[in-house]
Chains A and B, each alone.
Chain A
Amino acid sequence: MNILTIALRNARKKWVRTLLLLLVFTLGVVSIVSLNFVSRVVGEGLEKKLVSFGANILVSPKSEKLTVSYGGFALGDMLFDVTYLDEKDTIARVDAIELRKNISVIAPKLVVMDRVQGTAVAIVGVRFAQEKLLKGYWMVEQGAIPGEEPAPMSAKPKGSGMHAPSAPAPAAASPTGLPQAAMAPLGVPLDTYKGNGVLVGSAAAAKLNLKLGSEIPLGNTHMVVTGILAPTGSEDDNVLLADLTFVQNAVGRPGKANFVEVAALCSGCPIEDIVHQLATALPGVEIKTLRNIVEQRMYSVHFVKQLILSVSLVILLTGCSMVGISMLSAVNERKKEIGILRSLGFSRRAVFSIFCAEAASIGLLAGLAGYVTGYAVSFRILAVLDMAEGAVLSFEPLHLAATVLILALLTSLASLVPAWKAAAIEPSEALVTL
């Protein structure tokens, strides 16, 4: 038995009021905790989903560009002094920035123009492992991505006319008569793949009449079609995608890249910070953010967070006001009790502590019950709305402790004025009949 007994016994005696207060405050905490959990998980899910739509930062060499038009007729852009990035150096520098953990994909590219069956087409050298991460929307209609095993037949669209990529046309049958390159080996891990396989965009395949196993000359060598993409609605439909090392060697630009696409996860950091760090790490290189995607991502995440913050503040303010008002009425009700305590030698500080402890106990209990319930409710909300998008809800004991402590502190703060008022009561004021 000590001073806390007085606070706790009173709370127990007035159990209806205490329960009501506890219920309201717990509901508030449940709302805040569950909204926070849901927003965090949805935010992470949103990031993952958005990242699957592609890169959001473009790293390219600085170049002078002139848009030529005359008499209303556009002649296109003229590039002076075309420069290339050193692939290894650029990746190493991107890899070393402080916010590296926020970068999910680094995808270098070398674009070359060539003619295939008399038609100009862009051949893009890529690292397929990175490209696949960057373009989660890719679906291979026929064959497989170079270096990968093809999917089972049943998974392929009917009438695709697919050639078995595991048995591509032999290099010796090349109609070009050019020196033969090694055939595209399938089944090699993507990050080590250095073969001559090529993935063809759907529109390019139709226009150039390319099939699985078709050979395409490039420089002194040739490429072999191992896969044809389903329509993506993007630029990938019109290009041929080959291994970067292969393309670099074929066109005599080993280790070079035109640009590097970077996908940054930005739920926990402003994209501007990453861009700033990249600019510092890569002087003389142009860093562009693909604004639409970035802004959309940030807007979505920020909007949800702002909404949660506003709702949380309103709930907390309401809860705190209720605690404050309830305590204030309790002080008026318990004036004689306070008088008796003061007449027994309780200091103002002791009386102040009794009221603060009573409010803090409500905060502690509401925090504990609210956090646990909020956690359970979050599961239910995410299950009903199916919004997790692969993100995981995790129980964190430290967050629980922090929530409980913060709520105890908040309820104590909410009861400061009533507690101060109680401490100011003189015994004569409460007990003496004049």
Chain B
Amino acid sequence: MNATETTRPAAFAAPMAGTPLLEAVDVTKSFTQDGTPTQALKGVSLSVAPGEFVSIVGRSGSGKSTFLSVLSTLLRPDSGQLTYNGQDLTRATEAEVNALRHGDFAVIFQFHYLLPYLTALENTLLPFMRGLRPVSGAQRRRALECLERVGLADKGHRLPGQLSGGEQQRVAIARALVKDARVLFADEPTGSLDSATGATVMELLSQIHKDGLSVVMVTHNEQYASLSDRVVRMTDGLMA
């Protein structure tokens, strides 16, 4: 049995043939910053097919990170529609959204955001530590496999402070992989890394994509974006 299958909600059980896995239609989002209302998304649409690697590029302030947050359910849109596997996520309950974040969706950030007091292995196991039920042996083995895959099999016992920036980002990727997610959202995953380390991380994302995972990545780097199946550009809250 897969380590995470038990937590995947029935509504998102399997992608339906012929339908996009993830689809955003005419999504808008506005904020108030320093008392000034700002419309970050002005009606953005995007469709991601199962197993597709899509890169979103654009200048700072173009709204690409905001859009990724909406796609990954970290942010609710003001209007528009967001569907995953045919299910309307804008109407999903909080429990359904939590289940999706826990199961099908995985997010990695520019800053890896590991818990500093947990080891690399424990950080990888974090998605399984939601309740009082202890982490199982199968889940532990799965986490070790993921660490091995990102090249950190021998560093599972280390705290984040004892790892380099690239290693920390790879732990974050292992944490995303451990739960067998279907879509990986990556927000500037190489933004805080030097070019060599960034290239390693990108190579890892490519491999993950080749294994069948859908990837939606936000990046400034055109070279990294070219590794994806499709590149979309955003300017001033709109698709270019």
Complexed CA–CA distance, A337 and B117 (Å)? 11
**Could you say which residues of chain A place their CB within 8 Å of the CB of B95?**
347
1/0 per residue A345-361: CB within 8 Å of B?
11110100000000000
Nearest CB in chain A: distance from B30 CB, A: 10
Complexed CA–CA distance, A6 and B122 (Å)? 10
Tell yes or no: B102 within 8 A of A by CB. Answer: yes
Whether A6 and B101, one on each chain, are in contact in the complex, defined by CB atoms closer than 8 angstroms, is no
Tell yes or no: A12 within 8 A of B by CB. Answer: yes
Nearest CB in chain A: distance from B104 CB, A: 10
Nearest CB in chain A: distance from B70 CB, A: 9
Whether A345 and B103, one on each chain, are in contact in the complex, defined by CB atoms closer than 8 angstroms, is yes
Whether A1 and B135, one on each chain, are in contact in the complex, defined by CB atoms closer than 8 angstroms, is yes
Whether B113 and A339, one on each chain, are in contact in the complex, defined by CB atoms closer than 8 angstroms, is yes
Whether B130 and A3, one on each chain, are in contact in the complex, defined by CB atoms closer than 8 angstroms, is yes
**Could you say which residues of chain B place their CB within 8 Å of the CB of A342?**
101
| Among A3, A336, A337, A348, contact of B131 (Cβ-Cβ < 8 Å) | A3
Whether B74 and A1, one on each chain, are in contact in the complex, defined by CB atoms closer than 8 angstroms, is no
Whether B129 and A427, one on each chain, are in contact in the complex, defined by CB atoms closer than 8 angstroms, is no
**Could you say which residues of chain B place their CB within 8 Å of the CB of A343?**
72, 74, 101, 107
Complexed CA–CA distance, A350 and B175 (Å)? 19
Q: Looking across the interface, which residue of chain A has its beta carbon closest to that of B135?
A: A1
| Among A3, A345, A426, contact of B98 (Cβ-Cβ < 8 Å) | A345
Q: Looking across the interface, which residue of chain B has its beta carbon closest to that of A5?
A: B129
| Among A2, A344, A348, contact of B134 (Cβ-Cβ < 8 Å) | A2
| Among A1, A12, A340, A345, contact of B115 (Cβ-Cβ < 8 Å) | A340
1/0 per residue A1-24: CB within 8 Å of B?
111111001101100000000000
- Asked if A3 meets B129 with Cβ closer than 8 Å, knowing A13-B116, A13-B117, A340-B115, the reply is yes
Whether B113 and A431, one on each chain, are in contact in the complex, defined by CB atoms closer than 8 angstroms, is yes
Tell yes or no: A433 within 8 A of B by CB. Answer: yes
Chain B residues with a Cβ closer than 8 Å to the other chain, count: 39
| Among B7, B100, B101, B131, contact of A2 (Cβ-Cβ < 8 Å) | B131
Tell yes or no: B132 within 8 A of A by CB. Answer: yes
Tell yes or no: B126 within 8 A of A by CB. Answer: yes
Whether B117 and A12, one on each chain, are in contact in the complex, defined by CB atoms closer than 8 angstroms, is yes
- Asked if A434 meets B129 with Cβ closer than 8 Å, knowing A344-B102, A345-B102, A428-B74, the reply is no
Complexed CA–CA distance, A89 and B102 (Å)? 79
Instruction: With a 10 A CB-CB cut-off, give which of A1, A3, A5, A12 has the most chain B CB atoms.
Output: A1
Whether B101 and A345, one on each chain, are in contact in the complex, defined by CB atoms closer than 8 angstroms, is yes
Among B149-194, those with CB < 8 Å from A are 175
Q: Looking across the interface, which residue of chain A has its beta carbon closest to that of B97?
A: A345
Q: Looking across the interface, which residue of chain A has its beta carbon closest to that of B185?
A: A343
Instruction: With a 10 A CB-CB cut-off, give which of B98, B99, B110, B129 has the most chain A CB atoms.
Output: B129
Complexed CA–CA distance, A431 and B122 (Å)? 21
Whether B129 and A1, one on each chain, are in contact in the complex, defined by CB atoms closer than 8 angstroms, is yes
21 A-B Cβ contacts within 8 A?
Answer: A2-B129, A2-B135, A3-B130, A9-B122, A10-B117, A340-B115, A340-B126, A342-B101, A343-B74, A344-B101, A344-B102, A344-B126, A344-B127, A344-B175, A345-B99, A345-B103, A346-B98, A347-B130, A431-B74, A434-B31, A434-B65
Which residues from chain A sit less than 8 Å from chain B, CB to CB? 1-6, 9-10, 12-13, 336-337, 339-348, 350, 426-428, 431-434
Q: Beyond the given A5-B118, A10-B115, A432-B69, could you list 8 further A-B residue pairs with CB under 8 A, ordered by the A residue number?
A: A1-B122, A340-B126, A341-B126, A342-B101, A344-B130, A345-B130, A431-B74, A432-B75
